Amino acid sequence: MGRRRGFGSRLLAGLALASMSICLVLLHQLSQDGRGAIGGATNEAVERRQRHSHRYLLMAAAGSGSLPAAAIESKRPSAAKETARNEVDDGNQSTSAAVDRRLPRLLIIGVRKGGTRALLEMLNLHRDIAMVPVEVHFFDKFDNYQRGLDWYRSQMPLSSDAQLTVEKSPSYYVTPEVPERVYAMNPHVQLVLIVRDPVTRLLSDFAQIEASRAAQNLPNRRFQDVALLPNGEVNTQNRALHVSLYAKFLSRWLHVFPRRQLHIVDGDRLIRDPWPELQKVERFLGLEHLIRRDQFYFNATKGFFCLTGTPADVGNDNLTAADEHHNHYHHKCLAGSKGRRHPQVPDEVISVLRQFFAPHNRKFFAMVGQDFDWPEQ
């Protein structure tokens, strides 16, 4: 009987290892399909097949009593987390003080040239916000997405359990695959979208594109020659114009996420007076109201608000060294690439664009239940 059981165990282990080998071959083939298939399966279909193959691989590995090295590695506590736990003083501190790299619970999903960087830097004044300083582009770039959530987590800053990790990549909003990919990571993630008057946003986008062209020694262009066709009609083939069609992309997000998980920031108001808009974001996130009006000042030279670096817990004698460092970090203005001067454009060109955007804006207002009062003439 004992010999039969031993033989049966060895047979099951052999079958499991064989299954793992087959899945690895399939995964390699699928990754090749995802890179080069033309006219065949879409990236989304390939990714679905990959996800199922990954699940089967893990199931087979579990059945054999072993896991792939990457899966084993993901189960090990990080060195930072182990260090933080070792520094806890015999239970006198809460275990929530342990720091680790955590997946974001808040994403600023767009829009490009809507004020995403300013919003992120201002939110980072709050002690319960852990900001990712760069745009990771995990969900919108297939090569990054293929690296998996462990890689994405490795790009995050160290944070405590009490902090919200925040990442922003404006192209998330306009990339078709992103909503479902984000949902797969965390169906309860909170989303923030910042929008501006679509014509103003388009002018800002044009200014950035032209600055990039100038750096490549390409000739200057007039805004009206790019935004309008020779017959005076709006150039709907202009890619930058499509980013200002907010309703077009919002429908994808609301098909996946409930409206209550999405907060809309008025980017024009954020520029004129940041504090009220930040209070709304704090309320949406369920954060204590710690960001104050006196933490901002208007820089007349740059033409927008900068951060004073005033401690958020002014009058608090119990600030930790981490709090002091956090507050000191914020004495700053945005980089010179922000707040570029917009091109001078004839009034009739602005009027044509406003009339074009008007019906799209009204649709967006209805979808979000908020009227931004953007001009229609």
Instruction: Please provide the distance, in angstroms rounded to a whole number, between the alpha carbons at the two ends of the chain.
Output: 88
User: How far is Cα 95 from Cα 25, in angstroms, rounded to an integer?
Assistant: 43
The pairs formed by 373-376 with CB atoms below 8 angstroms and a separation of 24 or more are 374/197, 374/198, 374/199, 375/197, 375/199
Q: Which residues are catalytic, by number?
A: 113
The verdict on whether residue 114 carries a ligand-binding annotation is: yes
CB atoms within 10 A of CB 321: 7
The verdict on whether residue 363 carries a ligand-binding annotation is: no
CB atoms within 10 A of CB 346: 11
Give me the phi and psi of 332, to 5 degrees please.
-160, 160
The verdict on whether residue 293 carries a ligand-binding annotation is: no
The verdict on whether residue 286 carries a ligand-binding annotation is: no
Residue with tokens 């006198």: 92
The verdict on whether residue 113 carries a ligand-binding annotation is: yes
The verdict on whether residue 339 carries a ligand-binding annotation is: yes
Q: Which are the contacts of 268, defined by CB distance < 8 A and separation ≥ 6?
A: 196, 197, 200, 372
User: How far is Cα 164 from Cα 127, in angstroms, rounded to an integer?
Assistant: 10
The verdict on whether residue 309 carries a ligand-binding annotation is: no
The verdict on whether residue 49 carries a ligand-binding annotation is: no
The verdict on whether residue 116 carries a ligand-binding annotation is: yes
The verdict on whether residue 115 carries a ligand-binding annotation is: yes
Maximum CA extent, the chain = 92
CB 211 within 8 A of CB 337: yes
Q: What tokens does 310 get?
A: 């005033």
The β-bridge partners of 305 are 298
User: How far is Cα 342 from Cα 128, in angstroms, rounded to an integer?
Assistant: 35
The verdict on whether residue 91 carries a ligand-binding annotation is: no
User: How far is Cα 198 from Cα 195, in angstroms, rounded to an integer?
Assistant: 8
Binding-site annotation, residues? 113-117, 196, 204, 338-342
Binding-site annotation, residues for 3'-phosphoadenylyl sulfate? 113-117, 196, 204, 338-342
